């Protein structure tokens, strides 16, 4: 069996390497020549637990190679980005470009699988006509399915193997062909359905979480007005056996929760009322955080802010759609304060890696990401601050009486 994976990002690369580890001959394709060269030399361009070992193993076994050119195979997995456009609809330009690369390469009996997150009916209305324009009948000559990923950054390697997987074919025959591939790797259940149902299922998984977080964030704002302890409210409400309110935060980021709901809204704006409002609530949180930061700085007559964390979630290097990044840039551009960014996972020339150095002479430590290193910031590190004030938007810091500590439970005390 030979597999070609198009797109070597956060999903495509671990997918390719995991199949290679199962003795499948894999060619990973990416338009970025630098990425291809790095991978063939055993160097990763993204951070993910366990992936370095997989890369070395796959190169040593000669079961994986990276290329800028699509090669003939039995299966093709497309895992390219699908950002949202200005009108919030799904940008399928990268997807269409990937499918175009299959022309003249795919043959009868091959299977094409789209893993990229896409709007409902994209497989049927966009990908299927393109493949059939190459002279194949989908479901008879060539098989087509949508099989969305459902993994947690930091645990991708484990979850790609152990999570249940949705397998949505254009026809039943397409579904069966896709299952033949995934059963080589996946130990979880392989859930059979139609392509359009698979597309909507993936979007609703993330939309559910986005809506739930929006409820928590709205509670924070209401509690701030009413001087109520929002985090205690959530903790107590969740003692109910059928209640599970998510945790609030400085906003929602990443390529899933911050993007996927828009694809549903753009598909049926008239009826997607709760989804649309939830997106607006979560998008408003960076401004809410900045408002509170300004209140704190005014109350302590502060001059320097240290932003702790730029990624959209903890212990990863992914800054896509990160509200922390938006907050940093907004403070940097529009406030009168000195603003320093610290994140040991983000390697950019303007980002400080050393926490103590970043906090030196600072008036406020603004925690925007739940990296492990922020949970137990030592007294010695905090002693470098001018004013020892923490605003913890992720509710992770173990503080003591030596600092003034704010989170979403007591921000009304500012």
Residues tagged active-site: 202, 256
Sign of the four-CA dihedral 198, 199, 202, 206: negative
Rg of the chain over Cα atoms, rounded to whole angstroms, equals: 23
**Within the chain, how many helices (H) and strands (E) appear?**
15, 14
Long-range contacts of 223-231 (CB under 8 A, 24+ apart): 223/408, 223/412, 224/411, 224/412, 225/412, 227/412, 228/412, 229/409, 229/410, 230/408, 230/409, 231/395, 231/407, 231/408, 231/409
CA angle 166, 160, 197 (to 5 degrees): 15
Give the C-alpha distances (Å, rounded to integers) separating 97 from 7, 30, 122, 143, 387.
11, 12, 14, 19, 53
Cβ atoms of 409 and 396 within 8 Å: the answer is: no
Strand partners, 77: 5, 113
Q: How far apart are CA 54 and CA 386, in angstroms?
A: 45
Kindly state the tokens that stand for 355.
């926490």
Cβ atoms of 400 and 373 within 8 Å: the answer is: no
Kindly state the tokens that stand for 187.
């130990």
- Give me the phi and psi of 334, to 5 degrees please: -115, 0
- What is the DSSP code string of 297-341? HHHHT--EEEEE--SSSTTS---TT-HHHHHHHHHHHH-SSEEEE
Q: How far apart are CA 159 and CA 379, in angstroms?
A: 37
- End-to-end Cα separation, the chain, in angstroms: 62
Kindly state the tokens that stand for 14.
């671990």
Q: How far apart are CA 257 and CA 81, in angstroms?
A: 14
Cα dihedral 127, 128, 130, 132, rounded to 10, equals 160
Task: Determine the 3-state secondary structure of 170 from DSSP.
Answer: coil
């Amino acid at each position: 069996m030979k597999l070609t994976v198009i797109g070597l990002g956060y999903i495509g690369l671990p997918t390719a390497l995991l199949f290679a580890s199962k003795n499948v001959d894999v060619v990973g394709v990416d338009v970025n020549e630098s990425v291809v060269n790095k991978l063939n030399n055993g160097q990763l361009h993204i951070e993910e637990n366990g992936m370095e070992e997989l890369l070395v193993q796959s190169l040593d076994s000669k079961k994986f190679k990276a290329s800028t050119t699509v090669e003939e195979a039995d299966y093709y997995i497309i895992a390219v980005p699908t950002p949202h456009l200005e009108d919030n609809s799904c940008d399928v330009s990268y997807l269409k470009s990937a499918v175009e690369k299959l022309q003249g390469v795919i043959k009868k009996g091959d299977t094409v699988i789209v893993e990229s997150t896409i709007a409902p009916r994209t497989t049927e209305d966009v990908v299927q006509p393109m493949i059939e324009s190459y002279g194949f009948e989908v479901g008879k000559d060539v098989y087509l399915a949508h099989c969305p990923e459902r993994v947690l950054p930091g645990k991708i390697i484990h979850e790609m193997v152990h999570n249940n997987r949705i397998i949505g074919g254009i026809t039943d025959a397409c579904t069966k062909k896709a299952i033949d591939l995934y059963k080589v790797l996946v130990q979880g259940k392989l859930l059979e359905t139609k392509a359009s149902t698979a597309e909507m299922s993936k979007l609703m998984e993330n939309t559910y979480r986005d809506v739930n977080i929006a409820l928590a964030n709205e509670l924070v704002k209401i509690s701030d007005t009413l001087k109520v302890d929002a985090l205690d409210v959530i903790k107590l409400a969740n003692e109910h056996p059928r209640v599970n309110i998510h945790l609030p935060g400085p906003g929602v980021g990443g390529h899933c929760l911050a993007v996927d709901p828009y694809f549903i809204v753009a598909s049926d704006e008239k009826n997607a009322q709760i989804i649309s409002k939830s997106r607006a609530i979560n998008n408003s949180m960076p401004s809410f955080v900045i408002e509170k930061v300004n209140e704190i700085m005014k109350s302590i007559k502060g001059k320097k802010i240290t932003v702790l964390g730029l990624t959209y979630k903890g212990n990863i290097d992914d800054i896509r759609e990160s509200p922390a990044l938006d907050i940093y840039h907004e403070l940097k551009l529009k406030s009168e304060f000195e603003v320093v960014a610290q994140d040991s996972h983000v390697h950019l020339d303007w980002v400080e890696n050393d926490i103590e150095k970043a906090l030196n002479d600072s008036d406020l430590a603004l925690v925007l990401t739940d990296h492990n290193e922020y949970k137990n910031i030592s007294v010695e590190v905090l002693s470098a601050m001018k004013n020892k004030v923490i605003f913890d938007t992720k509710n992770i810091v173990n503080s003591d009486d030596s600092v003034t500590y704010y989170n979403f439970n007591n921000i009304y005390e500012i």
